[in-house]
Chain A
Amino acid sequence: MVTREDVENIALLSKLFVPEEELDGLTKSMQEIIDFADTINNAQVTDEGFDSISGLSNVFREDEVIESYSSEEILSNAPEQAENHFLVRNRE
């Protein structure tokens, strides 16, 4: 059962604001989707999880020093920057 409080709590974790007037609608649509997701709980699950069956493995390489981007390039998309840093400031 998805409650209004659940949605408020999840929104906080997700760093999203949900306006009061959208809360009921969103709770309802979340409930519908969760009901749908719940169909998997009728499934018989084997012990083999995805990780053991996928055959995928991590790819490793030597840790070599290579040229990277300049701080100017890295900062070029920042909405605000100052003195070669990203700017995060408290604005009232």
Chain B
Amino acid sequence: MGSISKIHELLTTKQISCTELTKSYLNEIEKSNGELNAYVNVTGEQALATAEKVDKKIAGGEEIGMLEGVPMTLKDNISTKGVETTCCSKILTGYKPIYNASVWDTLNNQNAVMLGKTNMDEFAMGSSCETSYFGGAANPFNINHVAGGSSGGGASAVGANLAAFALGSDTGGSIRQPASFCGIVGLKPTYGAVSRYGLIAYASSLDQIGPITKSVEDASLVFDAISKYDDKDSTSKGYSGNTYSTLNNDIKGMKIGIAREYLEGIRDDVKESILKAAEIYKSLGAEIVYFDLPALKFALPVYYIIACAEASSNLGRYDGIRFGYKTEHYNGTHDMICRTRSEGFGEEVKRRILLGTYVLSAGYYDAYYKKAQNLRGTIVKAFNDAFEKVDVILAPTVPMTAFEKGHAVTDPIETYLTDICTVPVNIAGLPGVSVPCGFNAKGMPIGMQLIGKSFGEAQILNAAYKYQQAANENFKDTDWGVKL
């Protein structure tokens, strides 16, 4: 049983009150957050107020929804009315949105209990959570290792049982990679399936909100709750139907593809785990189909060109005039804006703004941005062709396991390479879910990724759930936090 169903049962059978449950989460956060740095803002008062509301409903004999009273957390780039939302950047310190992100409106209306806002790489730019203005989040399996990024705080919190689930955002792997590093489940939905209204933009043609959870059932329940059409997001499509009712469908005859390119250049222990998962799928009656996806070799440079180009435009709004940080001493408006931005943004953010401005500038636009957009079309087409032959693609989530703290900041290119298996999904707008599939010799979790066709969430979650049932030993709990 997943954490959400378990909590629902505990609440409805009155084995615990929502207030007691919320307090025990808040106590554990108080105890462990110093070491993990998963939360950058704890909203205890608000959480307890919601819990009280839920308790009243239960006491009054009212039925409660599945997510009602479930303690959870939001990444710090998801807008929360009246609650500081900083993207873990100095430039947004003190910023309190005047509206909620649509996903939070949805969950808040269902009385989900928000415990706080979680840590992330500054503006979601990074793969280790270490570009955060508040310092990185630690991995619950070994606190000397990173939790991954950019949604590192959410993955750390869920992995350490300091929240039942988290919402993160995924632009190039920022949900799936930290989920993989922390031995949990992370779902990046199809572009358009979940509203992004109120998600502070990094790269708008790639960004997508999704759940980080302990189990596949939980990911499915949260996805079903948040995947609604939203007229406030012009790219919203919503998701018709649900994923939960088909989780346990037989996967006999399902064609699971392995693109050979995904297995190149990854660590041996990761490769071994992926091949072992393929064997498990065979034993469940699925058919494993090997194929080639040569377009993948351009995915990473295409991603960095497009993401940085969009970031340089999106981050133009931070000017020290309307919100956030403003420099103290300046001489004229231009000087004020430049000083504010130079003091407010961290090193990686500045690097990506400069890179994005470079590839969009006259003389370079055709060679980089336009070329990347064309190649993006080639990658989309390659995936479309692949899904003519297979139902789901199985791949590693990350070529390695969680690295030690401090490792990522030394070499930008090497850090970018960790995203090699996750970015293709964003480029093509597809859904992908990361699921734990083993451990390396040091006990650090390994993750595998199931990639589906556009709006194929039901299929990948079905495949993920069957795997979870067959290989439950890979879904290992940590000693931290609240034990349900």
B321 within 8 A of A: yes
Task: Please report the C-alpha to C-alpha distance between residue A81 and residue B362 in the assembled complex, in whole angstroms.
Answer: 37
Question: How many pairs of residues, A versus B, come closer than 8 Å at their CB atoms?
Answer: 150
Asked whether, in the complex, the Cβ of A91 is within 8 Å of the Cβ of B98, the reply is no
Asked whether, in the complex, the Cβ of A46 is within 8 Å of the Cβ of B413, the reply is no
Task: Please report the C-alpha to C-alpha distance between residue A40 and residue B94 in the assembled complex, in whole angstroms.
Answer: 41
Query: Per-residue CB proximity of B196-237 to A under 8 Å, as 1/0?
Result: 000000000000000000000000000000000001001110
Task: Please report the C-alpha to C-alpha distance between residue A15 and residue B319 in the assembled complex, in whole angstroms.
Answer: 9
A16-71 interface with B by 8 A CB criterion: 16-18, 26, 29-30, 32-34, 36-41, 43, 45-46, 48-56, 58-59, 61, 69
Write the nearest CB–CB distance from B99 to chain A, whole angstroms.
8
Query: Per-residue CB proximity of B331-351 to A under 8 Å, as 1/0?
Result: 111101111011001000011
Task: Please report the C-alpha to C-alpha distance between residue A76 and residue B97 in the assembled complex, in whole angstroms.
Answer: 9
Task: Please report the C-alpha to C-alpha distance between residue A47 and residue B386 in the assembled complex, in whole angstroms.
Answer: 20
Asked whether, in the complex, the Cβ of A16 is within 8 Å of the Cβ of B353, the reply is yes
Asked whether, in the complex, the Cβ of A36 is within 8 Å of the Cβ of B413, the reply is yes
Task: Please report the C-alpha to C-alpha distance between residue A91 and residue B324 in the assembled complex, in whole angstroms.
Answer: 19
Contacts of B336 in A (CB 8 A): 88, 91
Asked whether, in the complex, the Cβ of A40 is within 8 Å of the Cβ of B323, the reply is no
Asked whether, in the complex, the Cβ of A16 is within 8 Å of the Cβ of B341, the reply is yes
A14 within 8 A of B: yes
Query: Per-residue CB proximity of B355-370 to A under 8 Å, as 1/0?
Result: 1011101000001100
Asked whether, in the complex, the Cβ of B361 is within 8 Å of the Cβ of A10, the reply is yes
Given contacts A14-B357, A41-B371, A78-B323, are A46 and B381 in contact (CB under 8 A)?
Answer: yes
Task: Please report the C-alpha to C-alpha distance between residue A33 and residue B351 in the assembled complex, in whole angstroms.
Answer: 10
Task: Please report the C-alpha to C-alpha distance between residue A67 and residue B429 in the assembled complex, in whole angstroms.
Answer: 33
Given contacts A17-B339, A90-B332, are A40 and B298 in contact (CB under 8 A)?
Answer: yes
Write the nearest CB–CB distance from B14 to chain A, whole angstroms.
41
Asked whether, in the complex, the Cβ of A37 is within 8 Å of the Cβ of B368, the reply is yes
Asked whether, in the complex, the Cβ of A50 is within 8 Å of the Cβ of B351, the reply is no
Asked whether, in the complex, the Cβ of A17 is within 8 Å of the Cβ of B371, the reply is no
- Interface residue total, chain A, C-beta cutoff 8 A: 51
Given contacts A15-B341, A45-B375, are A88 and B380 in contact (CB under 8 A)?
Answer: no
Contacts of B384 in A (CB 8 A): 53
Task: Please report the C-alpha to C-alpha distance between residue A41 and residue B359 in the assembled complex, in whole angstroms.
Answer: 13
A77 within 8 A of B: yes
Asked whether, in the complex, the Cβ of A78 is within 8 Å of the Cβ of B321, the reply is yes
Task: Please report the C-alpha to C-alpha distance between residue A11 and residue B334 in the assembled complex, in whole angstroms.
Answer: 13
Given contacts A50-B374, A52-B377, are A77 and B323 in contact (CB under 8 A)?
Answer: yes
Asked whether, in the complex, the Cβ of A77 is within 8 Å of the Cβ of B96, the reply is yes
A92 within 8 A of B: yes
Contacts of B351 in A (CB 8 A): 26, 29-30, 33
Asked whether, in the complex, the Cβ of B374 is within 8 Å of the Cβ of A46, the reply is yes
B26 within 8 A of A: no
B372 within 8 A of A: yes
B44 within 8 A of A: no
**Chain A: CB-nearest residue to B358:** A10
Contacts of A58 in B (CB 8 A): 234
Contacts of A53 in B (CB 8 A): 377, 380-381, 384
Contacts of A55 in B (CB 8 A): 454
Given contacts A17-B342, A29-B351, A46-B377, are A40 and B372 in contact (CB under 8 A)?
Answer: yes
Task: Please report the C-alpha to C-alpha distance between residue A81 and residue B341 in the assembled complex, in whole angstroms.
Answer: 19
Task: Please report the C-alpha to C-alpha distance between residue A79 and residue B319 in the assembled complex, in whole angstroms.
Answer: 11
A5 within 8 A of B: no
Given contacts A6-B358, A29-B412, A77-B323, are A16 and B342 in contact (CB under 8 A)?
Answer: yes
Asked whether, in the complex, the Cβ of A40 is within 8 Å of the Cβ of B338, the reply is no
Partner of A79, one of B321, B380, B454: B321
Asked whether, in the complex, the Cβ of A50 is within 8 Å of the Cβ of B98, the reply is no
A82 within 8 A of B: no
**Chain A: CB-nearest residue to B306:** A50
**Chain B: CB-nearest residue to A72:** B98
Asked whether, in the complex, the Cβ of A48 is within 8 Å of the Cβ of B377, the reply is yes
Contacts of A91 in B (CB 8 A): 329-331, 336
Write the nearest CB–CB distance from B74 to chain A, whole angstroms.
19
Q: A17-B338, A77-B322 are in contact. List 11 more A-B contacts (CB 8 A).
A: A13-B357, A14-B357, A15-B338, A16-B342, A46-B374, A49-B377, A50-B380, A69-B98, A73-B98, A78-B321, A91-B331
A-B contact pairs, 18 of them (CB 8 A): A14-B353, A15-B338, A30-B355, A32-B412, A33-B355, A33-B412, A33-B413, A41-B367, A43-B298, A46-B381, A48-B377, A49-B374, A49-B376, A50-B376, A50-B380, A58-B234, A78-B322, A92-B331
In the A-B complex, the 6 residue pairs with the closest CB atoms: A79-B326, A77-B323, A50-B376, A50-B377, A17-B342, A53-B377
